[in-house]
């Protein structure tokens, strides 16, 4: 980062940003890419670039775009979402087909279908190319655009032992994040056809996301894409190790079949185990976990979580679950949106 060659990226003159964008486009086999500050901005620029005001966008009911992006698509794009069931992290072609609007003077135009792979809220669950291809076929049949929220696409690729471009194939646009499992301090990219990227670039500027000497941070993105992808398998191993070490504890609900990548969602079924209080106890041991209300918690493994750390997490849960004292349920403050 300190040695990054920089220029003014608003004028397309930052060589390091240009290199990163080229690398992302090549990696996903798309014509072009756009570097943005965050995943939320990547999704919003993509949605805006695919649509016109008043269009309807089909999204998973549990997707990040629907739940956790502050209704940006409605505010900035005048878009309406049609949420469909994505329980377990999977969207079926049939549900998409049923959600597409026909011709009727009363109805908005369905324009875009968004998928999420891996699916965050379902616990980092992977959609296979067979599943996504079936959805893409329906979208094509109805003349719809398709966007993939691939915040954790490389986790899916590593899980399936497939190149990321195979999972991106057929989508009009794909967003990837550099700052989650890939470990860069900041940054995301949306990738797609050149004309789509030019529209998205204009929206990035409108949203205040045009950066100047952004090569300093883009340099970390190049490291992320070139050296952090294959090692995601280690994060999957540590997550699995934790899951197997705690799933049988009394009061913990954990579906091992959903622990495919680096995310674990736990449920607490004992009133004396409150997610907010458990996370406070974990924090005292240097373990950061995100409670969601009083009965759910998200754990994520990453580059800095070693196998020894994973062992310490298992020990901590075993200690907490065996020493928890009965207390009234439902007194916890609400936690993270996850
Ligand atoms: C699936 C998914 N998409 C998009 C985002 C948004 O990314 P950012 O936090 O960089 O805006 C997240 C963040 O957790 C996510 O999990």
The span from the CA of 94 to the CA of 79, in Å, is 23
Tokens matching residue 126 = 């992977």
Atom of ligand 1 nearest to the CA of 119: 1
Atom of ligand 1 nearest to the CA of 42: 11
- Classify residue 80 as exposed, middle or buried by CB count within 10 Å of its CB (0-12, 13-18, 19+): middle
Averaged pLDDT score across all residues of the chain: 95
Choose the residue to mutate in 38, 42, 64, 207 for probing ligand 1, maximizing ligand atoms within 8 Å of C-beta.
64
The span from the CA of 77 to the CA of 318, in Å, is 48
Tokens matching residue 114 = 């968004």
Residue 149 CA, ligand 1 centroid: distance in Å: 8
Distance of CA 205 to the CA centre of its chain: 23
Residue range 174-195, pLDDT digits in tens? 999 999 999 999 999 999 999 9
Residue range 85-135, pLDDT digits in tens? 999 999 999 999 999 999 999 999 999 999 999 999 999 999 999 999 999
pLDDT at 12 (0 to 100):
97
Tokens matching residue 142 = 């109805």
pLDDT at 153 (0 to 100):
98
């Amino acid at each position: 980062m300190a040695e990054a060659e920089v220029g003014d990226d608003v004028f397309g003159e930052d060589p390091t940003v240009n290199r990163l964008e080229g690398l992302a486009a090549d990696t996903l086999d798309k014509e072009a890419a756009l570097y943005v500050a965050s995943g939320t901005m990547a999704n919003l620029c993509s949605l805006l670039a695919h649509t016109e005001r008043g269009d309807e966008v089909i999204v998973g009911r549990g997707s990040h775009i629907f739940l956790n992006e502050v209704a940006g698509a409605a505010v900035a794009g005048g878009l309406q979402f049609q949420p469909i069931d994505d329980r377990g992290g999977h969207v079926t072609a049939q549900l998409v087909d049923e959600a597409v609007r026909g011709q009727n003077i009363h109805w908005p135009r369905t324009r875009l279908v968004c998928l999420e792979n891996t699916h965050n809220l379902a616990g980092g669950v992977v959609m296979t190319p067979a599943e996504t291809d079936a959805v893409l076929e329906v979208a094509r049949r109805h003349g719809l655009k398709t966007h993939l929220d691939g915040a954790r696409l490389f986790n899916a690729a590593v899980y399936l032992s497939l190149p990321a471009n195979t999972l991106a194939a057929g989508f009009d646009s794909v967003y990837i994040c550099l700052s989650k499992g890939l470990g860069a301090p900041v940054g995301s990219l949306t990738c797609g056809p050149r004309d789509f990227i030019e529209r998205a670039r204009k929206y990035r500027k409108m949203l205040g996301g045009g950066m100047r000497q952004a090569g300093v941070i883009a340099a970390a993105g190049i490291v992320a894409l070139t050296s952090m992808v294959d090692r995601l398998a280690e994060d999957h191993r540590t997550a699995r190790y934790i899951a197997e070490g705690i799933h049988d504890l009394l009061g913990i609900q954990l579906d091992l079949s959903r622990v495919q990548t680096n995310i674990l969602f736990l449920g607490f079924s004992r009133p004396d185990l409150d997610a907010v209080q458990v996370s406070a106890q974990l924090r005292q041991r240097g373990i950061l976990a995100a409670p969601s209300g009083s009965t759910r918690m998200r754990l994520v493994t990453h580059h800095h979580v070693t196998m020894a750390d994973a062992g310490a997490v298992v020990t901590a849960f075993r200690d907490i679950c065996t020493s928890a004292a009965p207390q009234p349920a439902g007194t916890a403050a609400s936690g993270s949106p996850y």
